[in-house]
Structure 1
């Protein structure tokens, strides 16, 4: 049963103290197919707040695919490096939208960009970011790693390691990792747990190979869950819910 975020007055003990939440840019566009859908952004912000209210320190990385995706731009003939930088700027736009939604809910938040743009957000300085987390501010890391040819999955794994996160939560449209696409195959089987090596060998599509390898090499587990399930994020931290855990 999903948790009711509106009626919970007390916060259960969380299983993790500091986490990374990775979501795609497409998660912010709702049903409109492109751009930002404010009600969807607000709904996700409420999910984040519900976990923040448990005392959990939260990092976030949001993709930019709802606005511009570097790979698709390159596939249409654009120079890859330029396309990737455009995708990084799209992640900053999404991060600012999420910051606004969280602050409307009373959650202090910082957008921290790998590409310096001081009038818009903070530059990435690791010790400063850690201090924000210690002060219970949500840190949204934008602009990927600041380098082309690296995805926001890799950026999320990199920042999670740098921040000392205990786990990465990967919010998706489905409630875990399946042996094949559950939206196309009715007989798809969900894994309760799967190893990093199996994810790579079977190409299960949890994250890109660089992100999986970086998580594996640093013993950083990944929890894949449905971002569309009300209360799902908080529920997992409270020891409930349906998800797949990727670890050695």
Structure 2
């Protein structure tokens, strides 16, 4: 059993130290044993750990990096215009957020991906009050492409 799952199993809901948490997952954590990209069993395992906390009633906001797909700083170092490279890195975070959303919703956990870059067909725009309301309704909120 992982450390997070062990803590979740041992902590009664009435004794939780925090009602709401922000969980940062690096993009590299989603690679598993691979050199790049997404490793579905690893994404599923992380989703299971998130679910173990969610089942305790913890409001969960997540930030997922994109370094497993693209790093803006590395692109810039290789001669790419810095802003373009940063945007590409932000788009990689959206891809990872959607993968995590799929893993969580596949197990019945309502999830919202919110983004500072408008892309209405794949995620919601970041609006602080709306994100807080999603948390209050028991949804996991995943932040992608920055928060403005």
TM-score (norm 2): 0.91
8 Å contact from structure 2 (residues 126, 147) kept in 1: no
RMSD across aligned positions (CA): 2.0
Alpha-carbon deviations, 1:46-79, whole Å to 9, x = none?
0000000110000000000000000000011101
Q: Is the 8 A contact 1:11 1:53 kept in 2?
A: no
1:52, 1:39 → 2: CA distance? 20
Question: What SS does structure 2 have at the residue aligned with 1:112?
Answer: strand
Which residue number corresponds to residue 29 of structure 1? 31
Quick check: 1:107 aligned with 2:109?
yes
Task: State the alpha-carbon separation in 1 of the partners of residues 101 and 90 from structure 2.
Answer: 17
CA–CA separation in structure 1 for the residues paired with 2:36 and 2:52: 27
Alignment partner of 1:71 is 2:73: yes
Q: Partners of 1:4 and 1:79 in 2: how far apart? A: 40
Give, in whole Å, the separation in 2 of the partners of 1:127 and 1:61: 17
Q: As a proportion of its length, which structure holds more helix?
A: 2
Q: CA deviation at 1:4?
A: 9.0
Is 1:12 aligned to 2:17, yes or no?
no
4+ aligned runs moved over 6 Å, structure 1: none
Q: CA deviation at 1:3?
A: 5.6
Residue of structure 1 in register with 2:130 after alignment? 128
Secondary structure of the structure 2 residue equivalent to 1:15: coil
Counterpart-to-counterpart distance in 1, 2:108 and 2:84:
37
Query: How many angstroms apart in 2 are the aligned matches of 1:15 and 1:117?
Result: 35
Structure 2: where are the runs of 5+ without partners? Answer: none
